[in-house]
Amino acid sequence: MIPVKPAENFPSRKVDASAFSKSKRWRAVSNYGRAKSVRLLEDNFDPYHKPDAPAVEHADQKINPFQPLDGNYGGPPIPPYEWFKLIITGPVVFLVRVLLLIPTLSLMVIIAHIAVFRAEISSPAQDAPPFSRWRLFLVTILQKFTRLVLFICGFYWIKLKKHPSNKGQAMRVIVSNHCCVMDSLVHFSNYQFSPVGIQETASTPVFGSVSKALQMIYVDRLAKDSTEYVKKEILRRAQPGTGFPPILIFPEGVCKDTTCLVRFRAGAFVPGQPVLPLIIRYPHWFFNPAWTVPSKLRQLRILFQFINFVEVEELPIYYPNETEKSDPILFAENVRDAMARHMGVPVTDHTIQDTVLALDAVRMQVEMGGVNFAMLKRENSRITLDQSRDLIKVFKKMDVSNHGTVNFDDFCRALMFDPEDTLASRIFTLMDMDGNGQLNYHEFVYGMHVLLMQCKTTEDFMGMSFDFYDDDNDGYVTLDQTIAAFSKLQCLLNEGTKEPENVPFQKRITALEREFKALSDSRGQVDKEGFKELFVRVRNS
């Protein structure tokens, strides 16, 4: 018999089972996730929709949820004790576990194949019916084997804290924070469900077969209509009486530590059904099983540990009000806030796109600070993920000293500006928000987005360049200032070539001088409209 550590008991009190109804519910009065007391409250009590609920801290500017952990790219070094386990004792533990996992996982694959034999699998082309009883019986056997797999991996006890108010209540959707790949196994050892995951899972050894047996809803990130299919399938299965098991979704969509909760995606909340929030934690001393950027080594290190700890805590089932039913985004935010309030952690607006940026940043050793893609989108809706990734590369190119900051000389050198140039000085001053003469990544990326917001076209950029070079604000610029502005346009907007000695660039300068003489006044100057017209003529020449 595999030992399963019993759930932490709430204060004993005899209560009629009929008291656990939708209108009479229990509430755990908690402090940072530690239940202290439980009391039965009056009819129609709602533990979530309270006007006096404490506000949840939004820490977008303070926290980077994807900061590398020890042993991950630029993260802290692995502690000496961990090295001892990895080199001296770990290989023996790892080998024994692998030898035990091979037959166990092989049996799971066989059972999973039997469970899905000649079964219809849901896809965008067809809506499969729920499994019959004999198939569900095999899924129950898979659940027991999953607990055995966790036991072999060092999770000898799973601390499950069930909430009394959930007893006898039907739930169609389960949501949980996401720490690592073990989360799904831990939850499946306690609950039967159909998960939502990426399409690549179907072709993964072992887990691909098991995912089909669980009637997983697959998300194809390359298909344009995949999102609509997933929403429709969740809505179909989440309705009461469908015969499908509850749906498990990690609404964060990314793995991270439990120091915060990032933005919840709204897919799990589209049906407007009550959801069961679960909080999963991995207590540890030296090795944190969670990861913030993908790392195969970190996954393997779980098998090198003598013992791994995990605890799962239920919150009361969240019943949405009418406003939340009609607004899945609001529903998702409120559930996230309720979970964060119970965990005692802040929330941020980081999304799955930020994992891509974070991976680029840690590989190039760029400190991103609190910058996230959602914030950039709010500031400039035209910004793309590729543009944000390019800005990391540009900043790394400027940061030649690897100090995480860029001075004016480095800024000019990387962007091929003349340090004496007025435009270079003004752009740098615009970006240097704290005025210390150094640009960090946060200042640089927001400064670039200000430029992109103001410059929807290259003509807009020329207009802004005119304002920069018009030192005396008389509404006119000279030929030298015009050539300098045109040169910077080549660098910042990648129009033509970047190297001044390039022949096509020199031909354009010749055309610029010719058109300038045609448009300039008797003083050899042009106004703002003439400046823009000049650029159009040169570009079309």
pLDDT in tens, 232-276: 889 899 888 888 999 999 999 888 888 889 989 888 899 999 999
Angle (CA) 250-251-257 rounded to 5° is 65
**CA gap 260, 290 in Å, rounded:** 13
The pTM for the full model equals 0.71
| Neighbour count for residue 77 (Cβ, 10 Å) | 9
Structural domains present in the chain: 53-348 (3.40.1130)
pLDDT surpassing 80 at residue 332:
yes
d(CA 24, CA 20) in angstroms, rounded, equals 6
**Please, what is the Cα angle at 160 between 331 and 254, to 5 degrees?**
45
Tokens 């944000």 identify what position? 388
Q: What is the pLDDT of residue 280?
A: 96
Q: How far apart are CA 313 and CA 8, in angstroms?
A: 10
* Burial zone of 252 (CB within 10 Å; 0-12 exposed, 13-18 middle, 19+ buried): buried
Pick from 149, 211, 182: which is nearest to 298 by CA? Answer: 182
User: What is the tens place of the pLDDT at every residue in 378-433?
Assistant: 665 566 777 777 778 888 888 877 777 888 888 887 776 777 766 677 778 878 87
